[in-house]
Amino acid sequence: MRVALLLGCVFLCVAAAAVRAAEIEETGGSGHHAYLVNFVAGEDVHAFAKAHKATRVEHVVGGQWLVEWDEHPGEEAHSQMRAASHSVRRLRELERTPRGVPMTAHPGTADPESDRMWHMNGKFLRDETPVHLAVPLDVRGAGITVGIVDDGTNFAHPDLIRSYARTNSRAVGRTGDSPLPHAGSTHGTATAGIVAAARDNGVCGSGIAPDAKYAAIRMLGTGAHEADEALALGHMCGRGDGDTSIYSNSWGPPDGTTRFEGVSPVVADMLEHCDSRGAIYVWAAGNGATKLDTCSADGFVQSPHTIAVGGATYAGTPAWYTEPCPAVFVAAPSSGAVAGITTTSTRNGMPSCRNDFGGTSAAAPAIAGVVALLLEANPHLRRRDVMHVLLQSAQTRMHHEWAHDEHFLTNAAYAFEKNGAGWYYSDVMGFGLPNATLAVQIAESWHPLPAGVSHVYSAPDLRAQKRSGGVCKHTEISFAVTADIAALEDVYLRTKISAGSGIKLIDYIYLESPAGTKSYFFRNNKKHETSLEWTFKSVQFWGESPVGTWKLALCNRAAYMATLRETSLILHGYNPSR
């Protein structure tokens, strides 16, 4: 794996770094051939593609282009690609899965299912729950476009047709140009409804931002490779008129695998590019908790450009499937108890309504919808501003509404702790559930944050001793930080781990701040790598001062020593000017 410097911090990318142009690596044999080509400046890419009969050519980001052929392009095309480029790499199809968890459906104003929209207002039939987003009625997401990156959307659905942004929609991959889903695919239609289903139209329920537009971006199930992934995540990104400002992502690497999986360099470049243009990426944390999976192993969740979302159930318990990790920023209502999420769907090819949608697939678009409300209230907000606003609204609930609620601060499953800045945090719930009404009020008077400040500190190598008497052996190192940062935001630990028996025998790795906050990057993980180069992300030190002594600890239960080498602590924060 390789590490790329993005927005002043170090972020993990996958191991397949671009090879030198003279070394095009062929990995697939005959059949479809797709290449990511970094052409030299001034090269006429379209003329090259036409001369060599490429079936597809598309600019991705920077100097990188996607060039495809249905069959092997031939040695002459290979030779000219090498001569006209800095690098060429053969692309592979990616394994990506939706993050929905269906449950058993439950038996149905202007919208017939409005009495089931508990995730918005806390009301389910005759019952009530505190687990809701307190969605306001007077701010509805007008003027904001949300990209639904998924398996397609049934934009002809009567609850979705008015909010469909045709110009911003597209498909990537090799299964056609239409953003409509394939027969039987309903995941994207459900996530779109949570964001932007019409209100008071006599159909199904309502989206959180019913006046927002949504872009249907079909990528899942299309045979997409990493350039397609970048094109989907960057399609019309920005904050200008007609741009897509928010991207809702209810997908990622498969749950329960034995490996860490980062994002490709070209996707990392696209996320950085679009973040700089004001786009905001909301990401489902993953559903692999029952398989002992951790979102610390998901490169999308670990990205500095994404807001990771966990799930909470109607009953006031953490969703049993939500993957824990210190990068989870907030949570949103989802399935896992007596009620699922009511949203749009398709049944037997016809538009329908469902009340059993769930997983972090449902939580992510809920937060994307809240972000659309915030951008309508204050179009000057950027990603960091949005994160501060979400946190403040969630923490107000923690300190006031739920301070003595047995389902939250006193529920051991949530494991809420308080950091050195006074914020409650949890590996599964982040900083809690935002209150959308309060968040909009905060956003209306919010002044943009000053530019972020970053500092990088190198830590000594940590050599974890082998187990003692079959018991995990704890080892830690300390290092001093004097960074000129008044308040931390996200913190990253970049390291190379070597473990002869596999990192699955490392019980935990944690970082402890001078204020005493401990952030566990993983515990009891089941990943099998014997070596790993990775950058871990934590938001749990948010608001703290970084100055003082930090500790890095590892517990090894293997019969062989484990080592963390070339370790760096990357601190992001700001110095308030107001």
Pairing, β 97-98 against β 251-252: antiparallel
Domain boundary among 379, 406, 421: 379
Query: Per the domain annotation, does 256 fall within a domain?
Result: yes
- Same domain? 339 vs 306: yes
**HSE (CB half, 13 Å, CA atoms) of 60?**
30
- Same domain? 216 vs 317: yes
Which tokens in the block code for residue 5?
């410097």
Q: How much is the pLDDT for 14? A: 35
Asked if 389 and 381 touch (Cβ cutoff 8 Å), the reply is yes
Query: Per the domain annotation, does 226 fall within a domain?
Result: yes
Query: Per the domain annotation, does 475 fall within a domain?
Result: yes
Q: How much is the pLDDT for 116? A: 83
Query: pTM of the entire structure?
Result: 0.89
Q: Report the distance separating Cα 544 and Cα 567, nearest Å.
A: 22
Query: Per the domain annotation, does 167 fall within a domain?
Result: yes
DSSP per-residue codes, 458-496:
E---EEEPPPBTTB-EEEEEEEEE----SEEEEEEEEEE
Query: Per the domain annotation, does 468 fall within a domain?
Result: yes
Asked if 148 and 215 touch (Cβ cutoff 8 Å), the reply is yes
Query: Per the domain annotation, does 399 fall within a domain?
Result: no
Pairing, β 424-425 against β 506-512: unpaired
- Same domain? 44 vs 192: no
Using alpha carbons only, what angle is made at residue 304 by residues 299 and 306, rounded to the nearest 5 degrees?
75
For 192, the domain range is 110-379
CATH classification of the domain holding 467: 2.60.120.260
CATH classification of the domain holding 224: 3.40.50.200
Domain count of the chain?
3
Q: Report the distance separating Cα 146 and Cα 112, nearest Å.
A: 25
pLDDT tens for 22-78 read: 355 454 434 589 999 999 998 999 999 999 999 999 999 999 999 999 999 999 999
DSSP 181: P
Share in percent of the chain as helix, strand, coil (round to 5): 20, 30, 50
Which residue reads 């400002």 in tokens? 245
**H or E segment to which residue 552 belongs:** strand 548-556
- Same domain? 131 vs 38: no
Q: Which amino acid is at 419?
A: N
Query: Per the domain annotation, does 512 fall within a domain?
Result: yes
Q: Report the distance separating Cα 521 and Cα 427, nearest Å.
A: 10
Task: List Cα–Cα distances, 341 to 44, 197, 248, 335, 350, in angstroms.
Answer: 50, 13, 16, 6, 20
- Same domain? 367 vs 500: no
- Same domain? 460 vs 548: yes
Q: Report the distance separating Cα 354 and Cα 510, nearest Å.
A: 41
Dihedral, CA atoms, 493, 494, 500, 501, nearest 10 degrees?
40
Domain boundary among 379, 395, 427: 379
- Same domain? 77 vs 152: no
- Same domain? 126 vs 37: no
Domain boundary among 90, 118, 152: 90
Query: Per the domain annotation, does 419 fall within a domain?
Result: no
- Same domain? 79 vs 141: no
- Same domain? 251 vs 183: yes
| Residue ranges for the chain with pLDDT beneath 70 | 1-31, 101-111, 125-126, 399-414, 468-470, 577-578
Give the per-residue SS3 of 33-97: EEEEEEECCCCCHHHHHHHCCCCEEEEEECCEEEEEECCCCCHHHHHHHHHCEEEEEECCECCCE
Q: Report the distance separating Cα 91 and Cα 93, nearest Å.
A: 7
- Same domain? 55 vs 159: no
pLDDT tens for 370-408 read: 999 999 999 999 999 999 999 999 988 776 666 555 555
- Same domain? 371 vs 460: no
Q: Report the distance separating Cα 266 and Cα 271, nearest Å.
A: 9
